[in-house]
Structure 1
Amino acid sequence: MKRSNRAQGLRTACFGLVALVVLGATAAGAAGDPDFGAVRWAALDCAPGGDPAGDESPSSADLVGDPSHPATYYAYDAKYLYFRYRLDSDPTSKGGFVENIWSALMQVPSGNPKQYQYEIAVNGKSDSLELWANTSAKDLSFSPNFNDGAEVRVFAQGVNAANGSTVNATPLVRAVPTG
């Protein structure tokens, strides 16, 4: 059953995550909050023409988009790298997130272009933003399933952590309903 764009927009949630660009930064050196509204978002068009609703389960992990509203975006500023995912349903639960993992695989210029070197993930089970190093990388393959998990956790912070012990005074992860 095809839903109207308006109905789909009301059900879709935007989900943003941000990672420190300077991985070894100290709290004093990286002070400053992410500003999701001030960055220029660019589409990560992995599925030209869109990504239909209902093709993945659960719906809180189902990326959705159409030619006018892509499913994934990225942005960056001097201190942060941002990602925005359009999901088929609200990913939040009880002050945190449902037990899914939303991630982005990162390649560095000096790395093997057929492999990824880092994974940035929002872990809904532990309600944390995590950066992982893929220290035993294999060539990327999704046949039949992706099977090259990163091995070493480099950074983790609670999704709602924002206080004097963190580099940020506002959360690094947020969910915003669309409509």
Structure 2
Amino acid sequence: MAIVLIWAVMAFAFAFQITAQPAAHDTIVRLGGRRMIVDVISVSASDVSYKDIGSEELQQLNHKYIERIIYRSGKVDIFNKPVVQLIDENRWEAVLITENKADVEGMYEYGLVRSFSSSDARNMKAAKKSATIRLQKRAANMGANIVLVTKSIAIGGYGETPGYNMEGIAYGFRPPAEKKQQEENKPE
């Protein structure tokens, strides 16, 4: 019984030792979000000296290009906060709203989009913002990047619930999926 207990303790200690080992390399996260797996040699007041994995060449990188360093011990040094958060072009926040036809020249037409403000808007500004967001979301569902607004109507007078209706044509940088399939299936 004692031998089994000793073996269990040794197995537990060995397993714990394997899981407790830190990562073998450091990670430098650049401002663009790109990660570099390296061995950090030193950190000075303005530069970070490091070696690439499998290389003996010492390289330096200025602090202004580094967001943070994650060391193999788990320690994290933060140098800069990311200036801009990149938005995926397929998200509704990336859809631009315009009233200028020159902005959509040369782009592919995706179709008509309509939106109405939510019924709980308290003022005309909130109603317009609600209608704009709904227009952007509908255009993003179509895969569009820009909406050319053709009609925008404010509804409701003094003492009435404000409302806003918007209508526009969605445009994108790539041909719509339906047209691509039609072109591919065309008999020659």
TM range (shorter): under 0.3
Q: Which has the higher helix share?
A: 2
Using the size of structure 2 for normalisation, the TM-score is 0.22
Q: Whose relative contact order is higher, 1 or 2, with alpha carbons under 8 Å and at least 6 apart? A: 1
